[in-house]
């Protein structure tokens, strides 16, 4: 077996079966589409137009789902030899991602727009598109793995720890997971680029952006002001946990939970531990007092639901290793109690639940 052949997943079971390839115009989804086509699947490329980039005064968007990325996705589809559709999802994206993003920053929450896009658009509306096109599956370029057995579908962390994206898929449900494929999840990024060169894809060397797709210039404050998030820009006080006034600020939207840079306060270091959208107060604490143990999680979704009391690992920030915790149900909410104190997270962030390498499900942090 050649070195390149060893990089390809076993997709022969998909021969002749219709699969929607969710193409973002980047190298990961390009290789995903090529692998499916190579395996003999009946592949249809779909690009989701989610935002009007003509309003952004920048020369190059450099982020997923921008106009130039639509062009790249279409050209890759031509290279691979699959039909291609660009679908207008701007109205749904506005309703399910943009509006909640703005509202969260006004109220003091710290949203995760990529999670909402995955849950409501990519694995929500796109599965509806799959039904319309009579496709069994949707495939993406996410770095996660799907391994099925007699008990059904199982989703695991991607093999590249630097690229693992399971955290962002924690709120999809079992039904969604059963219809989504991840052909590059077993690969490291460099191997994906090698496959892109093998298939002579025009995206093989394309730059990878870390920006939020609808804020391609990275200026969150300018975006929120333009979107009319007035409540997030009311001046207020910065106080410690005892209510002692340490300084002032020009709006809670300038801050995120856990933030420690740019506070400009004496006797530091300080971490932001609470944002109050009603009083416009920013609450800070010293690092040793900012650690958390207890987190409440709502909007729970399970891919594989554990038995009550079963061992559980959780991560409540993307840049966090899953940590052991005790957990219990409180109605529609789950309480996590970490065995060891953790760095702060924020209401609005994702809580992802794991059993070893397997992603079990997750929800949204509602209280810390």
Please identify every residue annotated as catalytic.
117, 213
CA neighbor of 348 nearest in space, from 110, 118, 103 = 110
CA neighbor of 319 nearest in space, from 344, 295, 338, 300 = 344
Token look-up 């529609």 returns 332
d(CA 173, CA 190): 30
CA neighbor of 316 nearest in space, from 347, 271, 287 = 347
List CB contacts of 356: < 8 A, sequence separation 6 or more: 313
d(CA 182, CA 173): 16
CA 191 to chain centroid, in Å, comes to: 22
Angle between helices 27-38 and 189-198 (to 10 degrees): 60
d(CA 170, CA 173): 8
* CB of 235 closer than 8 Å to CB of 250: yes
Strand partners, 300: none
d(CA 135, CA 335): 38
Token look-up 């590249």 returns 160
List CB contacts of 163: < 8 A, sequence separation 6 or more: 143, 188, 189
Strands (DSSP E) along the chain, which ranges?
A: 18-22, 42-49, 84-88, 137-139, 144-146, 155-157, 180-181, 236-240, 245-249, 271-276, 281-285, 292-302, 312-315, 323-330, 333-342, 350-355, 358-367
**Collapsing DSSP states into helix, strand and coil, what is residue 85?**
strand
């Amino acid at each position: 077996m050649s070195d390149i052949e060893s990089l390809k997943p076993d997709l022969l079971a998909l021969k002749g079966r219709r699969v929607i390839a969710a193409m973002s115009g980047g190298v990961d989804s390009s290789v995903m589409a090529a692998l499916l086509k190579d395996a003999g699947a009946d592949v249809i490329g779909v690009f989701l137009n989610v935002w009007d980039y003509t309003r952004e005064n920048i020369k190059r968007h450099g982020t997923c789902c921008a106009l130039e990325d639509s062009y790249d996705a279409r050209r890759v589809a031509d290279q691979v030899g699959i039909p291609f559709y660009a679908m207008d999802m701007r109205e749904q994206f506005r309703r399910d991602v943009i509006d909640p993003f703005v509202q969260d920053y006004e109220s003091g929450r710290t949203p995760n727009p990529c999670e909402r896009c995955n849950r409501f658009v990519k694995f929500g509306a796109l599965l509806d598109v799959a039904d319309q096109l009579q496709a069994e599956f949707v495939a993406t370029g996410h770095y996660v793995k799907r391994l099925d057995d007699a008990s059904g579908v199982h989703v695991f962390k991607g093999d590249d720890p630097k690229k693992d994206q399971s955290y962002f898929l924690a709120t999809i449900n079992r039904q969604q997971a059963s219809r989504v494929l991840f052909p590059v999840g077993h690969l490291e990024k460099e191997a994906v680029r090698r496959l892109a060169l093998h298939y002579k894809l025009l995206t093989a060397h394309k730059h990878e952006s870390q920006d939020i797709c609808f804020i391609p210039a990275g200026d969150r404050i300018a975006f929120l002001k333009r979107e009319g998030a007035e409540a997030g820009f009311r001046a207020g006080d910065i106080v410690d946990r005892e209510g002692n006034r340490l300084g002032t600020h020009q709006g809670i939207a300038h801050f995120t939970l856990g933030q420690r840079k740019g506070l400009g306060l004496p006797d530091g270091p300080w971490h932001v531990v609470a944002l109050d959208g009603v009083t416009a107060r920013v609450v800070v604490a010293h690092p040793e007092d900012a650690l958390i143990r207890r987190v409440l999680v709502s909007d729970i979704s399970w891919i594989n639901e554990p038995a009550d009391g079963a061992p559980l690992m959780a991560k409540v920030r993307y840049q966090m290793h899953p940590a052991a915790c005790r957990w219990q149900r409180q109605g529609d909410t789950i309480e996590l109690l970490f065995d060891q104190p953790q760095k702060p997270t924020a209401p609005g962030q994702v809580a992802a639940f794991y059993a070893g390498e397997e992603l079990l499900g997750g929800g949204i942090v509602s209280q810390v």
